[in-house]
Amino acid sequence: MRTHSESRTLPRLGAGFVAAVALVLWTAGTCTSSLPVIRILTPEVGVDETYHPLFLEVDLWAFADLSTFEVLLNGVDITDDFALEYVKPRVVGTAIDVWGDGLVLPGENTLVVRIEKWEEIRVFDTTGDPHADAVADFVPGTGAGFGQLELPGVVLGAPQGLGLFLGGLDVLSLGAGGVVDLEFVDNVIVDRPGVDFTVFENPFFTVVFGLLGEPFAEPGRVSVSQDGVTWFAFDACQTAPLDPPLHPGCAGVFPTLSDDLDPLAPHASIPTETPIGDLVGVAQGTLVVPEGSGGDSFDLADVGLAWARYVRIEDVGPALGQAGTVGFDLDAVTAVNSAVPTDANDNGVPDAAE
């Protein structure tokens, strides 16, 4: 197990991730005669989870024998993914981005937690994926055309980014003033701490005399809706000339680092926390590629929604691009925080949002 000093920097609880898995080990007393018992809080029994990276949190009483602590996910030992920190009177362990090498499976998953002589097992299902599933509407603007023959698939599923310095071609050009509405079917975006979904375009950095210059960006305004009728816009999107033109609050600015075709690339539901302004002016030879998926992320709390099923992108930038490739080039939309849209009480609000 890594100690806290050896661990990577952890994001705040819930930032960058579609849903959370919390594991708590607790005891009825605080003396050494009261031995710990294991309890897995989530995933809950009988509740499906959307297919996504997991955030794991373990609460260990300080007197527990940490040398026996073990966590298995689908038979794979992930104990070393945990960073431990002393939080009086307990030791708290956290593991993030538990995704790679196919650890989280579509369908049935088995989570096992062991400490000393106790073991707790939780079997849970994952369903769907965190990406948009359907094109609800598309109104092309002037100069659109690229990608239309590949609709709807070209904007569904995971992004196919090419990194900081190349714009991917797995995109739909909206045209000047074009608008596209995407729908989440097998999941919904839910509001949790931090950003809740990411929009991927194909911007890329220019390089001037060895330094990262302004990104080539075609900004888009983002709106969300629960029913596809009433929309709530992220009005902070700025298209006025700035130096450099980073278009705060807009999509289509940060390059896409996630690539569904590259198993080593970050998963699309792990958001990048590095502000794009921190990269402008950095020497290309000393550049450290930021962690996370890239793209531009948004928080449902900014528009006062607990959940959303639809995402709209509207081209609002200068009409860049050649004929057929003008305007915002949409690659994908992926939920950071999502859940299956069950509605057990039939009140129109997904259970996860309640």
Residue of higher predicted confidence among 124 and 205:
205
Model pLDDT, residue 81: 81
- Give the model's pLDDT for residue 35: 54
- Check residues 115 and 44 and name the one with the higher pLDDT: 115
Q: Is the pLDDT of residue 172 over 50?
A: yes
Fold of 2-127: Immunoglobulin-like (2.60.40)
Cα 192 from Cα 348, distance rounded (Å): 19
Q: Which segment, 29-38, 92-101, 283-292, is predicted with the most confidence on average?
A: 283-292
As to burial, measured by CB atoms within 10 angstroms (0-12 exposed, 13-18 middle, 19+ buried), residue 308 is: buried
* Model pLDDT, residue 183: 97
Q: Using one digit for the tens of pLDDT, what is the confidence trace for 262-320?
A: 988 888 988 999 999 999 999 999 999 999 999 999 999 999 999 999 999 999 988 78
Between residues 30 and 55, the one the model is more confident about: 55
Query: Quick one: average pLDDT of 42-47?
Result: 70
Retrieve residue 163's tokens: 């990194």
* Own/partner pairs, 263-267, CB within 8 angstroms, 24+ separation: 263/100, 265/161, 266/291, 266/292, 266/293, 266/294, 267/53, 267/97, 267/99, 267/293
94 band by pLDDT with thresholds 50, 70 and 90: confident
CA distance 40 to 104: 17
Cα gap 190→339, rounded to integer Å: 7
Nearest CA to 197 out of 342, 312, 296 is that of: 296
The SS3 assignment for 285 reads helix
Measured in whole angstroms, how far is the alpha carbon of residue 333 from the centre of its chain?
10
pLDDT for residue 239: 78
Q: Residue 48: its pLDDT value, please? A: 67
Average pLDDT of the residues in 25-49: 56
> Average pLDDT, whole number, for the chain?
82
Exposure string (b/e) for 200-225, b if CB count within 10 Å is 16 or more? bbbbbbeeeeeebebbbbbbbbbbbb
pLDDT, tens digit (0-9, with 9 covering 90-100), for 231-272: 999 988 887 666 667 899 999 999 999 998 998 888 898 899
Would the pLDDT of 54 be above 90? no
Identify which of 349, 334, 351, 343 has the alpha carbon closest to the alpha carbon of residue 128: 334
- Say which range, 33-37, 85-89, 147-151, 350-354, has the weakest mean pLDDT: 33-37
Tell me, what's the pLDDT at 201? Answer: 98
Closest CA to 50 of 197, 166, 181: 197
Integer Cα distance of 100 and 200 in angstroms: 21
312 HSE (CA, 13 A, CB side): 23
Which whole number is the average pLDDT over 94-116? 75
Domains of the chain, residue spans:
2-127, 134-342
Asked if 219 contacts 328 with a C-beta cutoff of 8 angstroms, the reply is: yes
Instruction: Check: CB of residue 115 under 8 Å from CB of residue 25.
Output: yes
Strand partners, 335: 197
Q: Give the pLDDT confidence score for residue 98 in this predicted structure.
A: 62
